[in-house]
Structure 1
Amino acid sequence: MGDPHRVGVVGLGVISAAYLETLADHPAVRITALADLDASRSATVAAVVPGAEAMSVERLLAHPDVQTVLNLTTPAAHADLSLAAIDAGKNVYVEKPLAVTLAEGRTIIERAASAGVRVGCAPDTVLGTGTQTARAAIDAYLIGRPVAASAVMVTPGHERWHPHPDFYYAPGGGPLFDMGPYYITALVHLLGPVRAVSGAASRLRTERVIGSGPRRGQRIPVRVDTHVTGVLEHANGALSTITTSFDGVATTAAPIEVHGEAGTLAVPDPNNFDGEVRRCALGDSEWRVVEPGAGYAGGSRGIGLLDLVQADSQRPPRAGGEVALHVLDTMTALLRAAAEGRRIELTTTVDRPMPVPLTATQDWTASGH
């Protein structure tokens, strides 16, 4: 297998623990460097990650042993850090979204291509057995020709549990930019690229109250729409409806349903790697479980980075930057469509990423393939 691929992590907030749990002991990679705006935090994390050294962001970007930068900063910082890493000759894997604006996203992809480095981006949850089994069922025509899909995410807002939720209500946040990447990326894997969107959006209130942690009771401004709904026109003719909300309480709707001429699939939460896929065939009154038949079994965050470092000229990264750029285009176009009250055609497209064959947990944890 050769020497492990060396990774530097920037941003050690809440999500970093999930990535480090997957990557810290994986034989395909080695966490070499850790950086955070809070130096004490990076020192604390480095103390429990074997072989990792805490350092400044500047030193990490210049470190000759760092081959890929795992960018776990807040959305507003994604573009600046990714571009700095690319300019330093590093590959980049970014927590979603790729960037806050489409222009920033394009710049990341274009500059990486010029520099000869790779870009990957979350979510990689769609590489698990949940979404991948549903995709395999669609590709096997178990529901016939797909004609439509629905995607629904409703919560009362992250300020109820997150101690520092400010960025969820700033540009680059909101329910669409926060959770939409999971659902739209899954829809791209299931049905292919989007060609046009239309939609509407609203904002329930102008302030939110932090519900936990040292800032409990503090009010923060809401600068983005907190309920977004839209229609995605896929290039294959299928129509997806999507609802993302921080203004509701709960929903009984399946996270994703795909409707075909010969049946319907209920697809599990794309924020998770696994989950039960169910099918109701035309003429059948019961939903039946589709046994896992594709995807990384027992997946966890960081698989997308492993997939990136193992990709080659014959197989592009499945959680690649081009997919993330198309998802960003879809989201920004949907918000524009809502604001302007019109249908908007996208300026990007992308091939459906290659499917993931069913890969047992011991196989991907041992090799990263």
Structure 2
Amino acid sequence: MKRISKILIVAITFFFIQNIYSQNIHSKSIDKYIDYIQTNNLDIGSISIFKNGKEIYFRSFGEIPDKKFGPNTEYQVGSVTKLFTATLIFKLIEQHKISLTSTLDKYFPLVKNADKITIQNLLEHSSGLNNYVKKDEKIIWLKEPRTNEEIFEEIINQRVLFSPNENVAYSNSGYYLLGKIIEKEFYKNYSDVLKEEITVPFKLNKTKSALESPNDVSGSYIFENNAWNTTKDFYFKNIVGVGDISSNTLDLNTFINLLFDHKILSKETVSKMQPIIGKEKYGRGLMTFKFHNLDFYGNTGGTYGTNTILIFNKETKTSISLIINGERYPRDKFIDDIVDIVYNNELSYPEMSKTM
């Protein structure tokens, strides 16, 4: 009897603690909000909320015939991949194999301004390199397999936007090159490095590079003719290190909490990754976001059908990962509404006329 009583006490205590956590983020209001999203067929996806390193809320939403979405559903997370790439670059820096001032000509001398572009420039989008994802700056060409030679030729031939350090412009080309530098310095492909340095030691079992050829990743959807239909997305092996990683909301939240708990990189290193709030949007892997006068660090991702955002607030140690793989109501408005509920318990529903 005593043993049963102890088990009941532990169970009741656990339930009580979980209930307090849920109340802290106003989970009933979040449920009402997501019920509205689902009832009105506005979005498909998943959301996870962490506080103090633990998941305290999860919900999948949206309905597709013969498809089920849940905690284990994997999605393409687009440019959130860049946060993993930056982390691997800083691993190399901590191992004294490269530095922020190392120049690109050591690896790719044919790239314009290679002797002036540093690792730091590539990380913070201040290199002046263009965007290879759009061929000739306008043609969508990466939905079909392309060779490394084709991609390098495009990067080399594209015009530069400015000289290094003169300006800031988001550059997929820069992160493609960072991915290749990782492979050169570790003497392994990007997928093997990702597994060895991050996903295996930290048990991020749902997080994989496209080079691993994951086969359980949910596709992307577009709303047409009053129904959700699959849409063609990237051939993700074309954007390794740039936007190829697939994951789930639990793994993403776990990753960013490990990062800010300095379990993956040192405190000093993570500080270097962060932008200066109010002065920089792009740091060196981490970006800044402001929702309802609250500052967050994280990253976003967008493919041709799936949109992701991962944010972390240092003061409250709260993180939110939101992945939408069928979008009518925009991701940034969705996350803004969720932050307002979590911190202010202000529940406002999307205005239908503004979503279409």
Larger relative helix fraction: 2
The structure number with the bigger radius of gyration is 2
Give the structure with the larger strand fraction.
Answer: 1
Regarding TM over 0.5, the answer is no
Relative to the length of structure 2, the TM-score reads 0.26
